[in-house]
Amino acid sequence: MFKFEKLLVCLDLTDMDDYLIRYANYLVNTFQAKSVKFIHVMDNYEFPEDLSEAFEDDDERSLEELFLEEVNEKVEKHFEGRNGIKPEVVVEEGHTVERIVKFASKNSIDLALLGKKIDYEGKGGVVTKIIGLIPSSVLLITESTPYEYKKIMVHTRFEKPSAVAYQAAAYFKEHTRAVIEFHHVYKLPYNYFPVQKPKEMKKLRVRFEPHISKRYSKFLKKFKLPSDTPFQFSINVKGDEAQSIYSYAQKNKIDLVVTGTRVKSHLANLIMDSTSEKLAGVDKDVPVLIVKDVKEFVGFFKALFE
């Protein structure tokens, strides 16, 4: 059973931090979280201009102290400390991905909150790497992410990660009363390409619907999921599963896309699948919850960082 009680908010000293900290208030209140930690990693000594000026004034404080003061100011301004929770603010020095992943693992974080527009100069893949390696589930938000969930879409490939993703979505539903639906993107066989006309698409949907519906029923039965969960599917015509999911989410006013992921068989391949990675991209303006099966990940992380 999923419980999002231990939250980690990843900050980068940009304007996105304000949205993340305020959203942490909502998550704490919604899930009755027991703890929330805010972390910033000083990577390659890149720091804001106003902090640089402090050094010019012969400030005797250490770099870490200056960063900690900056982050504390942001948290004190935007975090309300609901449910009697006292936030913990952490500033570390080192490689951003490694520090955040280790911190999340050490503190048994349930849910990490990141901004889709978090970016480190010269480190455009930082967020992607964090998502791929961190043992906790990850919620990615944008500045426009709503403070309520009415419609949640669980991306399914009829496999175990999709069942795990549903359990996380059910936890959201329990606390928000949102409606959950499954969505599958069917990859069209190559012999059907190209398909462009709406009439042809309609015929294809009629042709493949019985097959897809049968797979869905088997999936629900295998993983003992509620049989009354609504189900929709899209046909992947252009070969981009993430775009199909995103287009459907936009058209149907989905508030949250939930997708599962799994550890590959080798540590060298410990990365997200391309669909999750694309959904995490800043060009997809929809909040995404990437769900991890913690038990499956723990052993890999110990081997990776010890």
Answer for the pair 274, 185: CB distance below 8 angstroms, yes or no. no
d(CA 33, CA 11) in angstroms, rounded, equals 19
Residue 120: give its domain's CATH number: 3.40.50.620
Which token pair is 125? 């893949």
Using the 3D structure, point to which of 141, 174, 205 is the last residue of a domain.
Answer: 141
Residue at a domain's end among 116, 141, 166: 141
Range of the domain at 157: 151-305
Order of all β-strands in the sheet with 231-236: 88-93, 35-42, 6-10, 111-115, 137-141, 288-291, 256-260, 151-155, 179-187, 231-236
Residue at 146 is within a domain = no
Tokens, residue 284: 């997809």
pTM, 2 dp: 0.87
pLDDT truncated to tens, each residue of the chain (306 aa)?
678 999 999 998 888 999 999 999 999 999 989 999 999 998 755 555 555 555 555 557 777 888 899 999 999 999 987 767 889 999 998 899 999 999 999 999 999 999 986 443 434 478 888 888 888 999 999 888 888 899 999 999 999 999 999 999 999 999 998 999 999 998 876 655 565 566 777 787 888 899 999 999 999 999 999 999 999 998 887 778 888 999 999 999 999 999 998 665 444 444 556 788 788 776 778 899 999 877 666 655 555 555
Q: Assess whether 91 and 25 both reside in one domain.
A: yes
For residue 227, being part of any structural domain is answered with: yes
Task: Report yes or no on 88 lying in a domain.
Answer: yes
- 285: which 2 tokens? 């303006």
* pLDDT digits 0-9 by tens, 255-277: 999 999 866 544 444 455 678 87
Please indicate, yes or no, whether residues 113 and 164 belong to a single structural domain of this protein.
no
Q: What is the pLDDT of residues 55-100, one digit of tens each?
A: 555 557 777 888 899 999 999 999 987 767 889 999 998 899 999 9
Strands 151-155 and 111-115: unpaired
Please tell me whether residues 114 and 194 are part of one structural domain.
no
Q: How many domains does the chain have?
A: 2
